[in-house]
Chain A
């Protein structure tokens, strides 16, 4: 099946706010899905809600949220909204307290509309190593990640495409990148500069939509039915 395809992205960086509005971005195409990632600093404080256009609430990605343990209280969070209507939207991300960080939205097309996600994997470290997550994905799945790290700059690894990123926000850098499931090993990573390199990171596979049925006029059945 064809890989889900990146459509659009938008993001916002913040400090001292308990809700941030991601600038408007267009959503179009078939089999749409919006992923919202957040990288925040602030011990014990969570993303309370992610709401599109003041009405539609996103769903948290299971097993995606991860807190660092090195004292900087970095957290990554991920949310999705399946089958948004075509249009231009803004998204309000609300936290349980005023925080420092960044949040962004990535829209993709060609995503499975009933079972859109594979199994998310998260990791954290304060060992001055590089952020790395290995997240199993089939060749026709698209991996999306979210990073927050103590670093001056963060750069997505080879084979990944950055979709939003913020460097040098106070002591933090991070963002979201994508990687096709065809990349061997399903490893996503970032390089960091100038920091103690405590980090939290997570990734999740986006599953592809099945191809539309091919009907044989006059026969009354589709290719799938005929083969299946």
Chain B
């Protein structure tokens, strides 16, 4: 397991910001993108009016070409923030997506966060296992 981005505090004004590229350790097969949500304990995180589209890209040729990989918020005009109550009535701490990685060696991953409706304050994690 490796944390390519480890709960990195981010502050992204409306617009787009890139993260990476980062090298994916060989032999790992799965990636998870996590973005911390607003909760009662983190009231300044990802406000309800802020919408985010998080897109990742993988490269198998050292960055010459990129495949669009997993993401969220690319429909519905961006993923809205605010508090999400779970079944047990606790607040969901992170929105996340997980998928398999493309097989290969020397792989790279990069992300783009596109923000509308205000400034995104959150913590970003990219985990590969």
Contact = CB atoms under 8 A, between A and B. Distances in A.
A152 to B, nearest CB: 17
A178 B102 CA distance: 22
Interface residues of A, number: 27
Contacts of A88: 67
B72 A21 contact: yes
B68 A19 contact: no
Given A23-B68, A23-B99, A24-B69, A93 B94 contact: no
Nearest to A9: B100
Interface of A: 10-24, 48-49, 51, 54, 88, 90, 92-95, 98, 166
B92 A15 contact: yes
Chain B residues touching A, majority SS: strand
A17 B79 CA distance: 7
Contacts of B37: 16
A82 to B, nearest CB: 22
Give me the 9 closest cross-chain CB pairs, A-B, nearest first: A94-B75, A19-B75, A16-B95, A21-B71, A17-B72, A90-B68, A24-B67, A23-B69, A12-B99
B74 A21 contact: yes
Interface residues of B, number: 25
A34 to B, nearest CB: 16
Interface of B: 37, 55, 58, 67-76, 79-80, 84, 92, 94-100, 102
Contacts, number: 86
Given A15-B92, A92-B74, A94-B76, A20 B97 contact: yes
B75 A92 contact: yes
Contacts of B76: 18-19, 48, 94-95
B70 A22 contact: yes
A19 B69 contact: no
Contacts of A10: 99-100
Contacts of B68: 21, 23-24, 90
B1 to A, nearest CB: 16
Contacts of B98: 12-14, 166
B75 A48 contact: yes
A23 B72 contact: no
A117 B80 CA distance: 36
A24 B84 CA distance: 29
B96 A15 contact: yes
